[in-house]
Amino acid sequence: MFKIYIVSIFLLININWQGEANKALDNKFKLGNQILLEKSNELTGKKIALLTNQTGILPDGSHILDAMIANGLNVVKIFTPEHGIRGDENYSETDKTGIPVISLYNGKVKPSNSDLEDVDMIVYDIQDVGARFYTYTSTLYYTIQAAAENKVPVWICDRPMVTNAEYTDGFLLDPQLESFVGKIPTPPAYGMTCGELALFLNSEVFGNTAKLEILKMTGYTRNTDYASLGLTWVKPSPSMFYPSTAVCYLGTCLLEGTNVSEGRGTDKPFEYFGAPWVNSQIISAELNAYNFDGVTFVPVKFTPSEKISAYPPKFFNQECNGIFINVKDISKFNPFKCGAAIISALYNNCPQFKFNKDNFIDKLAGSVILRKMIIAGNTIDEIEQTWLEGLNLFREKRAKYLLYK
């Protein structure tokens, strides 16, 4: 009897341990593309168009294209966003695998009817950075639109947020300012994974006319720190050096609409900004006086000396007086408001500061209000008040499409 009792306890412990082990296994982090490969048998025989670039990698560093081919899947063509299939600005018509490549940038931004007439489905696997003005969001928009028009299903391989997944901020896009750096009807910081954004676009813009399947990540929450996932960082674009670059980019991309360097050509693009004629002490002091949470502003000198693309960076090979945006707590940092404060501080303290003649900053901000209120001398808090109503309406809509808690 005693032996039977001991065996029973052992069995109960063993069953409980196995249950906990299975639960832990179920909660193990997996990317959407790993889920895709697990479903390979469902895709056998289908003619697949793969929309990806250099970021479409698995946790082991292998590329999704190679993995799909190794799994016997029939990838018949490749669509690529800005910067090309390998992220090297090469827009060749054939990949090294021999598969035809169709660029969705610089002229042609949307798959044509003829591009899709000989495919059964589209698979999307791209790491973005959660910013409206990042052109991959526009490519996703046009791909969903083309898929809906041609009744071609789209499978989205979901990927983690690099920036704070709970953070949303900035002006809703003014439709009159739509461009390839501002196509999706969201604020600049929209706080959604690419899968969540796809659901949002399909419903809010296209009336759920596209047939989407979101391959959700497992073991992921909105509080998951990107760094904790142990994924190899592959630059989503040539100047997106680190995850910290992406965090600051949500605000400092606005500098692309001015004559101030956003740090391109240095080892910290978008984390540095400045110009030869900037007084670093004055600008950093004004920005630190705001006491923004999670960040300090540190005077630095930098020299943009690297040509990362075909175009030289601003102030190429010239020493700049600048500021380093030292983000100490991503969960508290408000990059878009800081970006607006940076523009205001430069405008108020640097006589040489200029907005670009084409007012490109309006397209980046998604509104003329930012530029006009800075010129008029309004405070940052006053400017922020003008975008909060639209932002709150967006937040209500966004909540319906969130896949992770």
Distances (CA, A) of 304 to 226, 269, 301, 318, 321: 28, 9, 10, 7, 11
What CA–CA distance (Å, rounded) separates 297 from 300?
A: 9
> Could you tell me if residue 397 is inside a domain?
no
Terminal Cα distance for the chain, rounded: 48
Is the model's pLDDT at 232 over the cut of 90? Answer: yes
Contact 126, 52 (CB under 8 A): yes
For residue 308, what pLDDT is reported? 82
Percent of the chain at pLDDT exceeding 70: 92
Determine the pLDDT at residue 16: 42
pLDDT score at 311: 79
What are the residues whose beta carbons fall under 8 Å from the beta carbon of 135, sequence distance 6 or more? 81, 82, 105, 180, 181
At 122-150, the pLDDT tens digits run 999 999 999 999 999 999 999 999 999 99
Q: What is the mean pLDDT of the chain?
A: 92
Residue 49 lies in a domain: yes
Number of alpha helices (DSSP H) and beta strands (DSSP E) in the chain:
13, 9
Asked, for residue 2, whether it belongs to a domain, the answer is no
- What total of structural domains would you count in the chain? 2
Q: What is the mean pLDDT of residues 185-194?
A: 98
Q: Are 105 and 80 in contact (CB under 8 A)?
A: yes
SS3 content of the chain, % helix, strand, coil (to 5): 40, 15, 45
Confidence of residue 95 (pLDDT cuts 50, 70, 90): confident
Rounded distance, CA 250 to CA 265, Å?
18
Task: Mark whether 225 and 337 lie in a shared domain.
Answer: no
Q: Is 294 inside a domain boundary?
A: yes
Helix axes 369-376, 380-398, angle to 10 degrees: 160
- Domain hosting 61: range is 32-234
Domain boundary among 209, 234, 259: 234
Domain C-terminal end among 180, 214, 234: 234
**pLDDT tens digits along 199-228:** 999 999 999 999 999 999 999 999 999 999
Question: Could you tell me if 167 and 44 lie in one domain?
Answer: yes
Cα gap 203→401, rounded to integer Å: 9
- pLDDT(25) > 60: no
